[in-house]
Chain A
Amino acid sequence: MELFRNTNINFMKYRKYWIVISLILLAVGIFSVFVHGKLNIGIDFAGGTQLTVKFAEDPEVDNLRALLEGAGVEDAQIQSFGEAGENEVLIKTPTLEGSQEGSRDKVVDALDGEYNAGSDAGLDLNRDGREDIAQVLVERDPDGLINGPGDADAAKAHYEGVAEAILEVRRENGLIVDWSEVESAPAVAVGDETSDLAAGAAGVSPEVAQVLRQEARLGNFSVIGVENVGPQMGAELRQKGILAVLLSLVGMLLYIWFRFELRFGIGALMASMHDVLVALGIFALLGFEFNLTTIAAFLTLIGYSVNDTVVIFDRVRENMQARPSAPLLETMNKSLNDTLSRTVLTSGTTFLTAASLFFLGGDVLRGFSFVLMMGVVIGTYSSIYIASPFALLWENMFSDKARAERAKAKRRAA
């Protein structure tokens, strides 16, 4: 199937209108990001703490907010995370004044006081690690392994295996909700050739389950992810991010200047700056979080935008060599038509993959894939309506021919 064949669309004819539309989009973008301050800056750059917490039962977001405020955690952003029914919540808190280490402990303590109230068990199977679980089991020795003074090491290895079996359940699900999950935990292998302990499998025996029910609790929440970025780190990342974007723009300009001509480089640069700003504006208006992965997406967008432009310019150069006397405007139109199939196809496949990511790639990558989706659309558009007209404009203003003509006009006027 051929998408386009021998098209002869006069792309350049309406360039002025498109540029006006672009300018409006740019103005909206710049306004929403820089004046209105709509950009939702994530903790990567602003600093702060972000906890992913899985609850046994759906915690009401409003309750959580009230709880955290009561505990002195101000301005927390709370949103549900992941698939429905998973009871996962993202808690984002801003940087604490004068602290690099964030409010993690405060949040966890507050949650503990609320959701694990009434339980004073020393051990929490949803929070503690292998050693702690094993320790309690060694002390109580439910499997009756310690009969003499020499048995302690073997018992410890065995109970560490038991603890490992329980932890495996937690790792699988993020949270152990029911004791039956502990009781039916699949056994894991313990002991190996390097130790003199008997190799075997350790699972949760009914006696172990009995002891754990007495000594431990299944906490009603589990912190499954922590991100904390201190204000110092945030400032550094911010600086590095801006620098990376600026440098890659300069890099593009230099490459195109080297491979083509300055006017094409200017056109490509204008197009990619346009793309970044428009995408950023829409991104901000829709409230996506701007973080490290977003920077990656924007850099990719720059690469993609220039990539698209370069293929067209490549054709322009080829057509210029084939017909040196043709006006640049005409050559550009012809080149845009020549490459139209490719432009649409490549944009299409890239868009398909970005959209797959957007819809199936999960919450973490949503902002990232959104930038890429927009980037493909805007980048394709800008290759046609920003990059080429600007190259043309540059040509009309600064080329030798244009200068000579202006000089002639001046002379005539004089």
Chain B
Amino acid sequence: MKDRSLLTRGIIIALVVALAAFAAFPLGEKIKLGLDLRGGMHLVLEVQTEDAVDAEIDKTAERILEEAREEGLAGVRVDRGEGYTLDVTGVPRGEGDQAIGRIANDYLPEWSWDRLGERIVFELPLMEISQMRDQAVEQALQTIRNRVDQFGVAEPSISRLGTGSNRIVVQLPGVDDPERIRELIKNTAFLEFRLTTQPASGGRGLPSRQAVLDAYNGSLPSNVEILEGDVRDSENRIIGTEYYGVEKRSVITGRDLKNASPGLGEFRNPVVQFSLSVEAGDRFGEVTGANVGRGLAIILDNRVVSAPVLQGQINDQGIIRGSFTQEEVTDLSLTLRSGALPAKIVSLEERTVGPALGRDSIEQGLRAGLLGFVLVILAMLVIYKVTGINAVVALGLNVILVFAALAYFNATLTLPGIAGIILVIGMAVDANVLVFERIREELHAGRTPKSAIDAGFAKALSSIIDANVTTLIAALFLFQFGTGPIRGFAVTLTIGILASVFTAVFVSRWIFDLLISRRERVERLSI
């Protein structure tokens, strides 16, 4: 009876050890290292969704104005109202209202509108706004994914920080050129082609904002705005700013592109070649055909890249010229292909660790862990003699179990995680110590070794549980609070503590029982 229980428990322990070893080894392959150890880039980005909503409202204002003109309503003004509203003024009652109703119905179904005295107020319902924000984040997520995929980073992890959040977490292991990746991800890449008005035939811009205004005798027409561009020297260094008057309406935007790729221009200068979708190609052909001789400004993120003169009609193929380097052309093509970001992106947090730094951390962690392990083993052997071996076996198994659990749950080992394992080595013996001390006490009280062991385990159990639950509570809050690396610590600490209860209560007990069962009568226990 007794022997059978010993055997069963032995088999269970052997199975656990085998499974753990199978799961954990070889460590190099089975344990996933965090970015702080293997090197990589961790970014928390925030999508400025307000931008996307603003852009939508501005676009709608243009739309209403345009359609009102088509409907033959002269003198209509559209202004931004309070919150997410547009004030439309100068609309005659009756007929005008009907026209606005048609426009709203046909083109702006998501907006609600109402006449308030002389004004007609368009309002974007809150539901629509939150949906718009949500879409902006989803679109940004998709765009960033595309860009990272095309750039060729292995095992990227790009995800939203919880549903409904406007934050995106990007984790890229093993990045060699973080500066470039950072630019690539954050580049809004909003491309537009617009006709220039000053200088009308494109080419170089004017030297100052005032010069553009002067060309219009001081007042800008309502359909024109002034945009800046960089002046560069032959080495491509920025040496100044130039100014253009351009139409507010864009002929085509980045969304109309079917493809974009780097290429070489006539002077073997780097350019971006693009092709347009069929529908956009028609539109582009129409406008370019009608405006031969005028300048066509190529605008990226609201800056004029170049403003070549239209030599003839362009249909569905074209090139973007500017003072580009090869790298810029490659990245611009990539961002254009992956689509524009719907809104500006701000990096709230960045942690980039070079592989050399990570490797140092691993080495230092290993050294510290080894020293801690050896010291604890020595302490156990000195204090508990032969019984100390029992604790050492439990401790070794404990460490294996921690690695096995990490591998099994696919958890990430971080630098604080390593610290957690090392700390666990010191703390895990606590459960053994509690039991051993209790056994000693019982021996002093005159019990036989066998009954001392029984009593020791029985009495120490409640202390073991209480002591470990408190540490678990701390680990739990740590996990809740923590980001990446800290979570790694909470995880190893938690696993280590749970494993230590198992090894101290189950494994160590079995070893005691095994030792005792070998001899008929045990006179002394080396403890």
Residues in chain A within 8 A of chain B (CB atoms): 1-3, 5-6, 52, 54, 82, 100-102, 108, 127-132, 135, 167, 170-175, 222-230, 232-233, 237, 240-241, 243-245, 247-248, 251-252, 255-256, 259, 292-293, 295-296, 299-300, 302-304, 306-308, 310-311, 314-315, 318, 338-339, 341-342, 345-346, 348-354, 356-357, 359-362, 364-365, 368-369, 372
| Dominant secondary structure of chain A at its interface with chain B | helix
CA A1 – CA B485 in complex, angstroms? Answer: 40
Scan B478-490; emit 1 where CB is below 8 A from any A CB, else 0: 1011110110011
Scan B342-367; emit 1 where CB is below 8 A from any A CB, else 0: 00001111111111110111001101
Task: Check if B369 sits within 8 Å of A356, measured CB to CB.
Answer: yes
Interface residues on B, range: 35 or more
In the assembled complex, the CB of B433 is this many whole angstroms from the nearest CB of chain A, namely 5
Chain B, residue nearest A160 (CB): B152
Residues in chain B within 8 A of chain A (CB atoms): 39, 44, 46, 175-180, 326-327, 330, 346-357, 359-361, 364-365, 367-369, 371-372, 375-376, 379-380, 382-383, 385, 415-416, 419, 422-423, 425-427, 429-430, 433-434, 437, 440-441, 444, 459, 462-463, 466-478, 480-483, 485-486, 489-490, 493
In the assembled complex, the CB of A224 is this many whole angstroms from the nearest CB of chain B, namely 4
Which residue of A244, A310, A349, A364 contacts B426 across the interface (Cβ within 8 Å)? A349
A352-B379, A356-B375, A356-B422 are known; give 10 further A-B pairs, CB within 8 A.
A2-B383, A132-B327, A135-B330, A232-B348, A248-B476, A306-B471, A342-B433, A352-B426, A360-B371, A361-B364
Residues of chain B with a CB closer than 8 A to A255's CB:
469-470, 473
Q: List 14 A-B contacts (CB under 8 A).
A: A82-B360, A129-B176, A172-B355, A174-B356, A174-B357, A244-B477, A244-B480, A252-B473, A307-B471, A352-B375, A353-B372, A353-B376, A361-B365, A365-B364
Residues of chain A with a CB closer than 8 A to B459's CB:
318
Q: How many A-B residue pairs have CB under 8 A?
A: 261
In the assembled complex, the CB of B55 is this many whole angstroms from the nearest CB of chain A, namely 21
CA A167 – CA B482 in complex, angstroms? Answer: 33
Which residue of B351, B356, B476 contacts A227 across the interface (Cβ within 8 Å)? B351
In the assembled complex, the CB of A85 is this many whole angstroms from the nearest CB of chain B, namely 13
Residues of chain A with a CB closer than 8 A to B379's CB:
345, 348-349, 352
Which residue of A170, A248, A353, A361 contacts B477 across the interface (Cβ within 8 Å)? A248
CA A177 – CA B143 in complex, angstroms? Answer: 38
CA A299 – CA B476 in complex, angstroms? Answer: 10
Task: Check if B368 sits within 8 Å of A52, measured CB to CB.
Answer: no
Task: Check if B354 sits within 8 Å of A225, measured CB to CB.
Answer: yes
Residues of chain A with a CB closer than 8 A to B352's CB:
225-227
Task: Check if A244 sits within 8 Å of B419, measured CB to CB.
Answer: no
CA A350 – CA B428 in complex, angstroms? Answer: 9
Which residue of A227, A232, A292, A357 contacts B372 across the interface (Cβ within 8 Å)? A357
Task: Check if A346 sits within 8 Å of B368, measured CB to CB.
Answer: no
Residues of chain B with a CB closer than 8 A to A244's CB:
477-478, 480-481
Provided the pairs A259-B466, A346-B433 are in contact, do residues A353 and B425 lie with their beta carbons within 8 angstroms?
Answer: yes
Task: Check if A129 sits within 8 Å of B177, measured CB to CB.
Answer: yes
